[in-house]
Amino acid sequence: MKTLINGTFYSMKDTEIKSKLMISDQGVILSKSDNTKNEIIDMKGKFVYPAFIDSHIHLMGYGQSLSRLTVKGLNKKKDILKFVADNLNNDFIYVEGYKPCDISKNDLNELSSIAAIYLRHEDYHGMTVNDVALDKINLISNNGILLEDEASLALASVPRPKQEELENFLRKAYKKLFSYGIVGGHSDDLFYFNGYKNTMDAFTKISCEIPFYAHLLIHNKVLNDHLKLKENYFKSKYIEEGGVKMFYDGTLGSKTALMKKPYYSDYYGIRILNREQITKILNKAREERMSVAIHVIGDKALEETISFLQEFPPGQDNIDRIIHACFANDEEIHNLKSKSIFLDIQPQFFNSDKKILNFIKDMPKYIYPIKTFDKNNIDFALSSDAPVEDPNPIFGIYDALFRENKDESLDRFTAIKSYTTSAWKLSKLLGGYLEPGYPANLVVLNRDLFHEPKENFRKIKVLSTWVEGNKVYTT
Ligand SMILES: [Zn+2]
């Protein structure tokens, strides 16, 4: 066994602090010594919490973004075009992190009439391409700016990464996430790469190498493959089957989020799925005793999604989740309150979306109402949606604590719990507390999340990350 001493240990069951932590050789937290050889580890006055979990992330997508060209941070048209020109080759170029700023296919056509150019929008719901790329998918577009289904079509024509690359994406992602104190992620990846089988093969192979808890949502477009092949997978405790993922509406950045009040004249945003399609998916999911996880941004989308989930309730022990839930009014809060729907919230969106919010004339009553959700006992966890946002939980917790709108800021205990404990409710495994019987998944920080003032909060550093009693990251 190991005994960690001289640290501040937050169990997160309540605000009580423990002065030491005993861990068995099997990596489980003990209530008393188990009489095996005891290794004493001095934590040197540092701060220990249950390790972080990101409740909505794209693990493979994040690993890919760490490996791919990106224009994240470039805001000027001429800088972005220069970046593309500098990295161009004869075949194709795929660049991520593009914040749409007036680039059209003509600008890209000027750069190349041989190579296909793909600029993936930073919200991952759009793509700006040149004529070579349009020709590959036989699509006509005046400006080359593609959204939602058209963007997916273009994405499908980008040359695919090899199997070893998929595996490397996961290695890179897990390694980086360990350095942020994250030991698990609830991820949506199975539709976007080389098909369900190859993607699952990569997750399975890497689960034998790296002890990272991947809870995998099953995108509705690969649900049939999943049902056919799932027997071969999900054998490792590090890979868990999640709910059926679907998109109810689009995004704010693309003005495709479905709102109750119009963006302009009579345009309200879009529904990605029609009633018939969504009914079919929900029926299938329920038949298979699966929960669902639905992407919802706009308040109208939230209203309609709640009513769908009421019409097709999950079976016993299943918890449906709504991802994002950015806008609400009193009636949605009321309707959520009475149901056991779990929300996946991204605190970093509060700031990223600030500029975009300007074009909504008539705002819903609540914008990212995390405190209102909390007050009404609506369950939620915090997350990054990486690669959309930086997955560093310190940034997420900061944005949840120190909002401009103080009425919707969380208290420290709730914010920390929402990044360490809450998401475990959706897992069949135990986790999220530093309590006897729980796996010793820990993050050790140089400063105290409960007391560090706002000015220095974002500088808090992870010193080590532990999975089941073993260090997986150390500075
Ligand atoms: Zn996402």
The pLDDT tens digits of the residues spanning 206-227 come to: 999 999 999 999 999 999 999 9
The single-letter code of the amino acid at 189 is D
Ligand 1 center–CA 218 separation, angstroms: 13
Gap from CA of 188 to ligand 1 centroid (Å): 7
Q: For residue 58, how far is its CA from the centre of ligand 1 (angstroms)?
A: 6
Closest CA to 243 of 431, 427, 52: 427
- pLDDT for residue 280: 97
- For residues 79-107, average pLDDT: 92
Contact in structure between 91 and 63 (CB atoms under 8 Å): no
C-alpha 276 to ligand 1 mean position (Å) = 24
In this structure, are residues 56 and 383 in contact, taking their beta carbons and an 8 Å threshold?
A: yes
| Region 2-25 average pLDDT | 94
CA distances from 365 to 55, 299, 372, 377 (A): 26, 10, 11, 19
What's the pTM? 0.90
73 pLDDT more than 80: yes
Distance 177 CA to ligand 1 centre (A): 16
How close is the Cα of 22 to the center of ligand 1, in Å?
Answer: 37
d(CA 175, CA 465): 11
295 C-alpha to center of ligand 1: Å? Answer: 8
> 109, 135 in Cβ contact below 8 A?
no
Q: Measured between alpha carbons, how far is 314 from 1 in angstroms, rounded to an integer?
A: 42
What is the identity of the amino acid at 351? N
The answer, yes or no, to whether the previous bond of 387 is cis (omega within 30 of 0) is yes
Distances (CA, A) of 437 to 26, 29, 237, 241: 11, 6, 17, 23
Which pLDDT does position 16 carry in this prediction? Answer: 84
What integer is the mean pLDDT of 129-156? 95
From ligand 1's centre to the CA of 35, what distance in Å?
46
Q: Which long-range contacts (CB under 8 A, 24 or more apart) does 404-410 make?
A: 405/367, 407/371, 408/366, 408/367, 408/368, 408/369, 408/370, 408/371, 408/372, 409/370, 409/371, 410/370, 410/371, 410/374
C-alpha angle with apex 320: 204 to 147, nearest 5 degrees? 75
Distance 316 CA to ligand 1 centre (A): 26
Ligand 1 center to 377 CA (angstroms)? 24
Q: Where are the alpha helices (DSSP H) in 158-222?
A: 163-179, 195-209
Q: What percentage of the chain carries pLDDT values higher than 70?
A: 100
- CB atoms inside a 10 Å sphere around CB 5: 14
- Residue 381 Cα to ligand 1 midpoint, Å, equals 14
Q: What is the mean pLDDT of residues 251-261?
A: 90
- Indicate if the alpha-carbon torsion angle 69, 74, 78, 82 is positive or negative: negative
Expressed in angstroms and rounded, the spacing between residue 86 Cα and the centre of ligand 1 is 30
**Proportion of the chain above pLDDT 90, given as a percent:** 88
pLDDT digits (tens, 9 = 90+) for 372-396: 999 999 999 999 999 999 999 999 9
290 CA distance to ligand 1 centroid (A)? 20
Give me the amino acid identity at 256. T
pLDDT tier at 134 (50, 70, 90 boundaries)? very high
CB 46 within 8 A of CB 8: yes
Q: How far is the CA of 152 from the centre of ligand 1 (A)?
A: 14
Question: What is the 459 CA–ligand 1 centroid distance (Å)?
Answer: 26
Q: Report how far ligand 1's centroid is from the alpha carbon of 57 (Å).
A: 6
Considering all CA atoms of the chain, what is the largest pairwise distance in Å, rounded to the nearest integer? 74
Distance 453 CA to ligand 1 centre (A): 30
CA of 292 to the centre of ligand 1 (A): 14
Q: How far apart are CA 144 and CA 44, in angstroms?
A: 57
Distance from Cα 8 to the centre of ligand 1, integer Å: 34
CA–centroid distance, 189 to ligand 1, in Å, is 9
Entry field: residues in the chain? 475
- Residue that has been written with the tokens 């016993």 in this structure: 316
- Residue spans of alpha helices (H) in 16-162: 59-67, 77-87, 105-111, 131-136, 148-157
- Nearest Cα residue to 442 out of 416, 472, 475, 466: 466
Whole-number average pLDDT of the chain = 95
**Residue that wins the pLDDT comparison between 263 and 461:** 461
Cα–ligand 1 centroid distance for 6 (angstroms) = 39
**Residue 435 Cα to ligand 1 middle (Å):** 31
- Cα 101 from chain centroid? 25
Q: What is the CA radius of gyration of the chain?
A: 23
Q: What is the pLDDT, as a whole number, of residue 266?
A: 86
User: What's the gap in Å between 5 CA and the centre of ligand 1?
Assistant: 39
Q: 275 CA distance to ligand 1 centroid (A)?
A: 22
Task: Output helix, strand, coil percentages for the chain, rounded to the nearest 5.
Answer: 35, 25, 40
In the predicted model, is pLDDT for residue 32 greater than 90?
A: yes
pLDDT surpassing 90 at residue 351: no
Q: Which has more confidence, 276 or 340?
A: 276
Q: How far is the centre of ligand 1, averaged over its atoms, from the C-alpha of 429 (Å)?
A: 23
Contacts 24+ apart (CB under 8 A), 125-133: 125/151, 125/250, 125/251, 125/253, 125/254, 125/256, 126/100, 126/151, 126/253, 126/254, 127/151, 127/154, 127/155, 128/98, 128/100, 128/103, 128/104, 129/105, 129/154, 130/105, 131/105, 133/92, 133/157
User: Is the predicted pLDDT of residue 405 greater than 80, yes or no?
Assistant: yes
Band of the pLDDT at 265, cuts 50, 70, 90?
confident
Residue-level pLDDT at 317: 83
CA 25, distance to chain mean position in Å, is 32
